[in-house]
Chains A and B, each alone.
Chain A
């Protein structure tokens, strides 16, 4: 079979296309961005008809749009980083109530160790919260197969599936075997659609009962899943314990039955299974239950618990499974993992952390020499955000107590030297709203710095709040005409930021456009000073294209 080299993200994208996808709706966010980008490129390159691959204003609009596509009977995908699901949570939770028509997969790309994020929340918890099935692939081939077959399962169950990956899975390549492309679904409406999608209390109560009833089907799917299986300690007993077996249609083999070396059972979830396997290249010495589909397969877990005195849980992210097995009081089953210190509570799992948890020695002959220093990321040379921070720094020096609330994007790097301008970066849009709250509290000057894409994602509503209250804030929308941090995806309102602010009600006298260049430095400073002094809402939009996207265009046009 021919293998192609795919990132985990790309494997998911290719699988969705091959499963007959009709629409992917997403908002960029590391490490999920490459899924939607891949589908966009495939649509262009292969001229796939009727496949919509678009960036939306935010994750909530993306998931809702996907629901509309599913309502019509077609297969749909929505991808986001873990914190993006917080934004989409209203839609997400209620889609578990409505259920779906055309197959729907929502991808959450979690970021343990926070390589490019402000938290390491584990969104398997969202799966439990919404009470829907969750897939967690352990390798790229499994990611492909899960998506390819997941659409059938989603349609069979009538509910969306949450696919949870982590940064390592998203951004690691492996050879993948792909399968035949299926045709897209035709429009196919449901007879009882109104009672399903109109979540008036009378309908919603019924839908919730349906969701509760559906749990047994979800559990059965997990217990029969080819992604959840036992491996006995000795491969000669016929278990699946080589990497090659992973993703093959391995029916769970006979559960462990006690005896030598079986006092500790291991539960390995998703990518943690790889790290476990790395430490046992010649087969496991303990009974192992690999879990890649939730809800937790109760039958297999009971069998494991019966055969073992204690359980070690290996999972990347939060101790979700560990907590479930242990129970809140922890008085029953002996469970080891992140909660009892067998593994570090925070941070990404590694083969070395797993090795230590197994009681094996880690041998590393060389240390990092003391002279090595950190090399944090920085704003690119020539970036417009630099000009904004230089001007802003010079002006706010004139005030004693200025606070600059910033946001999520490249300009967050204004926290680092040489600028050290900003005082906060919390969540998408929080610059505008925090600035208003601080201004209400008496902070002066209270300034917000937000990018164009973040502004249209979640800053516009906050600006409306400011306008309605005539808050004493200066909002700087540092517009680079792209979604820069994630690699330059289109921004929702390029060229229209000024008009949007006007429409929201910012007074035209206090709404300014300027090009952030060295030659306009004094002019920008004067504008900032003037608008800090104005008692009310002012908006300055320094606008100059991201130098990365600009350079790419120049290269392309050569």
Chain B
């Protein structure tokens, strides 16, 4: 078993938190993993990505080879498409539908969605609206993780434990809110 995951978004959207939750859960499961992430200059509103590799055998490369990703999880619709060369033929994209428009020439929305239509397996969700409905404005990243959970090689309750570990220091209320967000996302998938 080996699952290669690309996490994408814009600096500050919370992709590294999703990566940390999956990573904790994988390690708890006794799985091998490597997760490569971007720090520094790129975080200032630029595009960010993380390569997350989980396997029951040791993982060699820190980077996912082209055409090998099982899933792209993206907190921004255009950012998911940026990493398409990494996606395998029957791979999945799980993405937030809300554009983050901090650049002058953001692509036309319809043209962008047409690119999604060309792909076999996509889930595009308005996780920001879902977060508003839940009253958990800062948990849209976790909702997206919930939506991607059926495609991850990790039991759902272990992701819940991952949430408890990662958000535990922020207090019980934050943990509960994120657990609710995770379940809400999973319900939509």
B66 touches A364 (CB 8 A): yes
Please, which residues of chain A bring their CB within 8 A of the CB of B59? Answer: 174, 243
Partner of A371, one of B34, B89, B107: B107
A172, B62: Cβ atoms under 8 Å?
yes
- Whether the Cβ atoms of A371 and B45 lie closer than 8 Å is no
Nearest-CB distance from A555 to chain B (Å)? 10
Please tell me which one of the listed residues A173, A244, A368, A379 contacts residue B44 in the complex, with CB atoms under 8 A apart. Answer: A379
Are B45 and A168 in contact, with the CB atoms below 8 A? no
**Chain A, Cβ-Cβ closest to B64:** A351
Complex-state Cα separation, A169 to B37, whole angstroms: 10
Contact among A30, A271, A274, A363 for B39, CB-based, below 8 A: A30
Given the known interface contacts A243-B58, A364-B85, the answer about A115 and B38 at a Cβ–Cβ threshold of 8 Å is yes
Distance A271 CA – B34 CA, assembled complex (angstroms)? 13
Query: Which chain A positions have C-beta within 8 A of B78?
Result: 371-373, 375
Segment at the B interface, from A275-283, A397-405, A443-451, A460-468: A275-283
Report yes or no: A373 in contact with B106, Cβ–Cβ below 8 A. yes
Residues of A within 8 A of B134 (CB): none
| Stretch from B97-105, B125-133, B145-153, B176-184 at the A interface | B97-105
Chain A residues lying within 8 Å of B65, measured Cβ to Cβ, are 278, 350-352, 355, 362
Q: Min CB distance, A36 to chain B, in Å?
A: 14
Asked if B185 is at the interface of the complex by the 8 Å CB criterion, the answer is no
Inside 8 A of A281's CB, which chain B residues have their CB? 60
Cβ-defined contact, A175 with B44, below 8 A = no
Give Cα A173–Cα B105 distance, bound, in whole angstroms: 34
Give per-residue flags for A341-359: 1 if the beta carbon is below 8 A from chain B beta carbons, else 0: 0000000001110010000
Known: A116-B42, A174-B33. A375 touches B66 (CB 8 A): no
Query: Contacts A30-B40, A34-B39, A174-B34 known; A378 to B84 CB distance under 8 Å?
Result: no
Residue of A nearest to B10 (CB): A375
Please determine whether B58 and A242 come into contact, CB atoms closer than 8 angstroms: yes
Asked if residues B62 and A5 are in contact (CB atoms below 8 Å), the reply is: no
Given contacts A364-B85, A365-B88, A367-B85, contact A375 B61 (CB under 8 A): no
Q: Flag A484-509 by CB within 8 Å of B: 1 or 0 each.
A: 01110000000000000000000000
Contact with A along B65-81 (1 / 0, CB 8 A): 11100000000001101
Partner of A277, one of B35, B41, B60, B85: B60
Docked-complex contact B67 and A365, CB < 8 angstroms: yes
Task: Tell me if B15 counts as interface (CB < 8 A to partner A).
Answer: no
Q: How far is the CB of A523 from chain B (nearest CB, A)?
A: 28
Are B34 and A171 in contact, CB atoms less than 8 angstroms apart?
no
Contact call B41/A377, Cβ cutoff below 8 A: yes
Bound-state Cα–Cα, A355 to B65, Å = 9
A378 touches B102 (CB 8 A): yes
Complex: how many Å from CA A365 to CA B83? 12
Q: Does A332 touch B at the CB level, under 8 Å?
A: no
Contacts of B23 in A (CB 8 A): 5, 173
Counting CB contacts under 8 A, is B3 at the interface? no
Tell me whether B43 is interfacial, beta carbon within 8 Å: yes
* A365–B84 alpha-carbon span in the complex (Å): 8
Distance of A362 Cα from B88 Cα, bound (Å): 12
- Report how far A247 CA is from B42 CA in the complex, Å: 32
Q: Which residues of A have CB within 8 Å of B57?
A: 243
CB of A430 within 8 Å of the partner chain:
no
Q: How far is A375 from B103 in the complex, measured between Cα atoms in Å? A: 6
Q: Collect the chain B residues with CB atoms within 8 Å of residue A275's CB.
A: 60-61, 63
The CA-CA distance from A497 to B7 in the complex, in Å, is 41
Q: Which residue of B lies closest to A484 (CB)?
A: B44
Q: Which residues of B contact A5 (CB under 8 A)?
A: 23-24, 27, 33
Residue of B nearest to A412 (CB): B41
B188 within 8 A of A: no
- B67 touches which one: A34, A271, A364 (CB < 8 A)? A364
B100-116: CB near A (< 8 Å → 1, else 0) gives: 00111111100110010
CA of A169 to CA of B61 in the docked complex: distance in angstroms?
10
List the interface of chain A (C-beta within 8 A of B): 3, 5, 30-31, 33-34, 115-116, 168-169, 171-175, 242-244, 271, 274-275, 277-278, 281, 350-352, 355, 362-369, 371-380, 410, 413, 417, 485-487
Q: What would 6 more interface pairs be, CB under 8 Å, given A371-B78, A376-B46, A377-B43? A: A116-B39, A243-B58, A244-B58, A275-B61, A350-B65, A375-B102
9 contacts between A and B (CB under 8 A): A30-B40, A351-B63, A365-B67, A369-B115, A373-B103, A375-B102, A375-B103, A377-B44, A417-B104
